[in-house]
Amino acid sequence: MESSKKIVILGHFGVGKSSIIRKFVDNVFSTDYKVTIGVHILKKTVQIPNRKSISLIIWDLEGTDNLELINKTYLLGTHSFIYVYDVTRPLTFNTISEDLEILKTTYPSSLIKIVGNKVDLLSNSEKKSHQILFKVETYLSSAKTGENIEFLFQDIAQELDN
């Protein structure tokens, strides 16, 4: 039995949203930075433990530093949001609580996951202090090494199935 879920990935410019998706869908990483314009849509089917498959239809939105500027119709009917920031650029996570509040208020039934990307650029001690800084549950990932990418989407698929 297969069901489909809409996943929307958003966050500031250059935080690695498209790289995370490319790593997850095609297992590819490239340092060439190509700006996403509008929206890019990809799909991957994941298997969850009860032998069910879930098709994740992933909407990769162009980067923005203001969630209010996103075309609202792109966000409608979303089962899970993935909010990505860059662990090395505070500018990309300074407004995280306000942004999450907007998402929680506007889309109360959607699952929200927070991802701190480019964790491969942090030392172990920096990684620890970063985890302390963020009290909310955050996935520290790296599109480059693949750290926590598969895990993130598996978690989402399972939670959406419950």
Partner 1 sequence: MEGIVRKFKSKFTGVEEESLILHELAKTEIIEIFIIEKNSGLLKANFSKSDTIDKEVLSAMLTAIKSFVEQAFNTGEEQLESIEYGLYHIHIQNFKSFYIAVILHGVYDSTYKSKLKSKLLVFVGKNISNTSNSNLNIKLAEAFNNGII
Is residue 39 helix, strand or coil? strand
Cα–Cα distance between 71 and 76 in angstroms, integer? Answer: 10
Which of residues 66 and 131 has its CB atom nearest to partner 1 in the complex?
A: 66
Q: Are 49 and 69 in contact (CB under 8 A)?
A: no
Q: How far is the CB of 153 from partner 1 (least distance, A)?
A: 16
Position 10, amino acid:
L
Residue 76 CB, nearest distance to partner 1 (Å)?
A: 4
Query: Closest distance between partner 1 and the C-beta of residue 152, in Å?
Result: 20
Distance between start and end Cα atoms, the chain? 15
Looking at the Cβ atoms of 61 and 84, the one nearer to partner 1 is: 61
Instruction: Give the residues lining the site for partner 1 (CB under 8 A).
Output: 4-6, 38-39, 41-43, 55, 57, 59, 71-74, 76-79
Smallest distance from partner 1 to CB 7, Å: 10
C-alpha span between 153 and 149 (Å, rounded): 7
Residue of 47, 56, 52 whose CA lies nearest to 78: 56
**Residue number, 77 or 90, with CB nearest to partner 1:** 77
Identity of the residue, 42 or 48, whose beta carbon is nearer to partner 1 in the bound complex:
42
